[in-house]
Copies of this chain bind each other. A is one copy, B any other.
Amino acid sequence: MSTQNAAPTMKDVAREAGVALGTVSKVVNGIPVGDSYRQRVEEAIERLNYRVNSYAKGLRSSKSFLVAVMVPNLVNPFFASLVNCIDRSLTARKYKMLLFATDYDPQQEQEYVYLAEQQKVDGIICLSYNSQLIVPASVPLVSIDRCFSTNVPCVSSDNYGGGRLAAEKLVENGCRNLAFLRIGSQLTNEPNKRKDGFVSACEALGVPCTLKILDDGSPYTDFEDFLREHLHDGKLDFDGIFCVTDSLAYQIVNSLRSMGLRVPEDVQIIGFDGVRSFGDLEFYCSTIVQPLEDIAETCVDMVVERRWEKTPSMVCLPVTYAYGGTTRQ
């Protein structure tokens, strides 16, 4: 006997419809069943307002239609937009999303991986900064923008090509003396390739290029000091700057303007990511746009279709240039 307020179970539905338990299960799962039976079961379900218990289902079938998504936070609009895209891809496949914000904490990241494993998720998509991350073999995991090892597939945009593109666009727009600005870990990771591509293109184009790379945790003002060092008689040594992210580019533009320089007339700036104000209004700056939808779709596809077993461990998606007011074109 089921208590009054307890959620109805298949058994209740079976009794209500006057059929066997198995029949209800079949109806619920769309397995062929006699028409009159189906009808009665459906009516009973409606009457009792029955819903399958996903715990029991998951326990039995060891399939959760759940994917864990790990990002540092949602405050950064790049991460937020990425998660938004992943959600769309997941939803289109009837998957649900378990969201974890790691706040860049390696320990949290590891814990969340274990938690996801224990939640019996069907896959994990993570944007992690923890190169030591221990990845369980039981769950397919795909990494965005970070290459851990060859057994963890990584999806990223073409950071190297993006760096090249930035240099090419700046030179195309008349720049003859470039700079690259970056803050963050020195370790070889994807975003570092932005620098490599940029430097490589500068060399190929025969344009001098100065690098200013700050360690994680350095104050932003170090960049301003750097700029001031290169400011002589109100004129900056550089006429083009590539910033590793739009966020940095935005701040640099503000700094330059408050130093009396005109952007893009005196200095042209290109950022990276393709972030827009309020998520969907205009670009903050001229930028290299990451293909978020593609990245999301690729990750979801790899994880839920278990396609990652027969895929190269690294997928690189093409980026594009977008004008955002901080370059001539």
Q: Which residues of A contact B (CB under 8 A)?
A: 7, 51-56, 58-59, 64, 73-77, 80-81, 83-84, 87-88, 91, 96-101, 114-115, 117-120, 138, 246-247, 250-251, 275, 277-281, 284
Complex alpha-carbon distance, A55 and B247, angstroms: 41
The docked-state distance in angstroms from the alpha carbon of A185 to that of B190 is 44
Is there an interface contact between A77 and B279, defined as CB atoms closer than 8 Å?
yes
Shortest beta-carbon distance, A86 to chain B, in Å?
Answer: 10
Q: How far is the CB of A152 from chain B (nearest CB, A)?
A: 18
Roughly how many angstroms separate A88 CA and B87 CA in the complex, as a whole number?
20
Once bound together, how far apart are the Cα atoms of A81 and B119, in whole Å? 25
In the bound complex, do residue A59 and residue B55 qualify as a contact, i.e. CB atoms below 8 Å apart? yes
9 smallest A-B Cβ distances: which pairs? A75-B279, A80-B80, A55-B59, A74-B84, A55-B58, A51-B118, A99-B99, A74-B80, A247-B278
Asked whether A87 lies within 8 Å of B75 as measured between CB atoms, the reply is no
Residues of B within 8 A of A251 (CB): 281
Report how far A100 CA is from B246 CA in the complex, Å.
27
Complex-state Cα separation, A76 to B277, whole angstroms? 9
Stoichiometry, as copies per complex, reads 2
Add 19 more A-B contacts to A75-B84, A96-B115 (CB < 8 A). A7-B138, A53-B118, A53-B120, A55-B58, A55-B120, A73-B279, A74-B74, A74-B80, A74-B87, A75-B280, A77-B279, A83-B99, A84-B101, A96-B100, A96-B119, A97-B100, A98-B99, A250-B278, A277-B277
Nearest-neighbour CB distance to chain B for A109, whole angstroms, equals 13
One of B81, B119, B278 near A74 (C-beta < 8 A): B81
Write out the residue numbers on chain B whose beta carbons fall within 8 Å of the beta carbon of A279: 73-77, 80
Q: A117-B51, A279-B75 are in contact. Are A97 and B96 (CB under 8 A)?
A: no
Chain B: minimal CB distance from A111 (Å):
10
- Residues in B with CB closer than 8 Å to A275 are 278
Contact for A75 among B56, B81, B96, CB less than 8 A: B81
Name the B residues within 8 Å of A53 (CB-CB).
Answer: 59, 118, 120
Assess the B77–A73 pair: CB atoms within 8 A: no
Cα–Cα distance between A120 and B88 once the two chains are bound (Å):
22
